[in-house]
Amino acid sequence: MASAPDTDALVSYLVKALVEHPDDVGITRRDGEGGTTYEVSVHPDDTGKVIGRGGRVIKAIRILVRASASADGSDATVEVIG
C-alpha cells in the first residue's frame, strides 16, 4: 500500500513553483476543528501569480490540497495572506 501524501510538502512545492521569489514564500499551518488551513504569504509581486486570473490558480491549488488531505481522512484549505 502506498504511503500517505505529505500535504505540507505539496503546498510548499506548488506555491514555490509558481512564484519568481521562492525564498520569500512563507507557509503557516493552522489546525482547527474544521481541518487544516495553510496560510501562504508571498512577495507582493507574486500574489497575482498564486491567485491567478479570476482565482483559477488558487482554486486548483485548493482542490489538490483537499484531495491530498482527504487521503489521510482530514480536510485542508489554502489561504493567501499576501
- In three-state secondary structure terms, 18 is helix
Please state, for a pLDDT cut of 90, what percent of the chain lies above it: 82
What is the pLDDT, as a whole number, of residue 4?
A: 53
Greater confidence (72 vs 65) lies with 65
pTM equals 0.90
CA 6 from centre of chain: 12
DSSP 15: H
Vertex 31 angle, CA 25 and 41, to 5°:
15
Q: How confident is the model at residue 1 (pLDDT cuts 50, 70, 90)?
A: very low
- In three-state secondary structure terms, 22 is helix
Residue at 44: amino acid letter: P
Q: From 47, 27, 50, 23, select the one nearest 38 (Cα to Cα).
A: 27
Domain extents for the chain?
A: 7-80
What is the pLDDT, as a whole number, of residue 72?
A: 85
Q: What is the mean pLDDT of the chain?
A: 92
Q: Note the CATH architecture for domain 7-80.
A: 2-Layer Sandwich (3.30)
